[in-house]
Amino acid sequence: MPHERHEHEPLTSSDQELVLSSLERDQLAAAKKQPIPRRKLRGFEKFIFWSLRIYVLFMIAVVLYQVLAGAR
């Protein structure tokens, strides 16, 4: 059975030891608040992103048009 912890149960020193020995440092909830550095997109990558974005927006506009046309 997994350990079930009550919401208001205080943290104990054994809890602290357990967390520090069982989790990697970047697995801690607090560590995840640190953003991962942004990467610089190359020209070809930007081209792919924009092409796919235009495709999605265009196709969704066509779907919406069909929905509205169907509703009429």
Partner 1 sequence: MGSGKRIPTSLASPADSTMEFGETEASEASSATPPASPLTTDVVITHEDIDRAHDRERVFLARARRGIFSRFRLLWLLVGPGILVMLGENDGPSMLSYATTGSQFGIGFFIPFVVLTFFMAVVVQEMTVRLGSATHRGHAELIFDRFGPFWGWFSLVDLGIGNFLTLITEFIAIRAGLGFFGVPPWIAILGALAVLYLALVTHRYWTWERISLAAAAFNLVFIPVAFLARPDWSSVGHALMTWRPLPGGLTKSTLLILLADIGATVTPWMLFFQQSATVDKGLTKRDVRFGRIDTALGAALAATAAVATILATAPLFIHHMSAEHFQAAEFAQALEPLVGRFGAALFALGMVEAGMVACITISTSSAYAFGEVAHQPHSLNLPLRQGKSFYLVLFLCAAAAGAIVLIPGLPLVYVVLVVNVIAVLAMPPALVFLFMLANDREIMGDLVTPPLVNVLASSVVIFLTVAGILFGISVVAPNIFAFIGGK
CA 32/CA 29 separation, integer angstroms: 5
* Interface contacts to partner 1, rule CB under 8 A: 2-5, 7, 9, 11, 15-16, 18-33, 35-39, 41, 45, 48-49, 52-53, 55-56, 59-60, 62-63, 66-67, 70
Q: Which is nearer to partner 1, 29 or 43 (CB)?
A: 29
Nearer to partner 1, 7 or 72 (CB): 7
Residues 6+ apart with CB under 8 A from 68: none
**Sign for the pseudo-dihedral over CA of 44, 45, 51, 54:** negative
